A and B are shown apart, each in its own frame.
Chain A
């Protein structure tokens, strides 16, 4: 099932290229711009920056169309199946995880996409955030059991 054909890797590369360009053009790579969206206290004074909403809505619309197209197909172009997320349940881990992420995001203005994208600029202290992100992610693996079968069994 490990697909390493050239078209498969080329697709990953094209997607990564579009993603990186999109993060720069939208300026979501800039933590201050993200924080200026999250700062709702600036709404009364007119200092609020709603740009993030203008990024995520078109992104969702484009992806929504792709999901519709995908529903008419048995498989993606270069793999044998669509990899639907395994978890289906809304539980404490989902809410707790999202809450912890929200705290970290609000403290820094950096979510995982921009964290990687920022490597292009190597701003001061970025490596600290990246190491912590990596450590946190793999520490989280200890809480969320890894392995396809265990996760599936756990989700039901």
Chain B
């Protein structure tokens, strides 16, 4: 439990909720990152706000890290990617490429990720999002167990 950080988690979570609230009440848009990211190319018609959102998101992460250094797992900031589990004999770059492909395809087909279904969908009391959340959390927990990545 040494890495458990409920206070920074709750503050950060509230900021994420506020981000979703601002986008919904201001522009009537769902703050789902896979949706925003996945509609940057034609035939999407409203590309500019998505680009603005994503660029500022990266900049804000950068600024927050400068202002508040030393948060995180054992001071593991800036965050590193996690290596592939050695027992599987798959080089980390290939492992990450497969993971990225699955996250990309899956969030597109399932129409949402942790933010779109998880935060916005559950807040909207969407049964569809509840099903998605239960499935992707369940499958991710099983995947971590099976791969032994942690």
Contacts and interface: CB of A to CB of B under 8 A. Distances in A.
Contact of B82 (A2, A31, A81, A87): A31
Given A136-B105, A139-B105, A144-B108, A25 B140 contact: no
Contact of B53 (A12, A70, A73): A12
A125 B92 contact: yes
Contacts of B143: 38, 102-103, 105-107
Contacts of B82: 31-32, 35, 108-109
Interface in A75-119: 75-79, 81-83, 85, 87-90, 93-113, 115-119
B11 interface: yes
- Give chain B's interface residue range (CB within 8 Å of chain A): 35 or more
Nearest to A23: B61
Contact of B38 (A23, A111, A137): A137
Given A18-B19, A140-B108, 6 more contacts: A3-B49, A62-B14, A98-B132, A102-B140, A118-B81, A135-B101
Interface of B: 1, 3-6, 8-31, 33-34, 37-38, 41, 43, 45-46, 48-50, 52-65, 68, 71-73, 76-82, 92-93, 95-115, 117-124, 126-128, 131-133, 135-145, 147, 149-150
Interface of A: 1-4, 7-9, 11-33, 35-36, 38-42, 46-52, 54-67, 69-70, 73, 75-79, 81-83, 85, 87-90, 93-113, 115-121, 123-126, 128-141, 143-144, 146-147
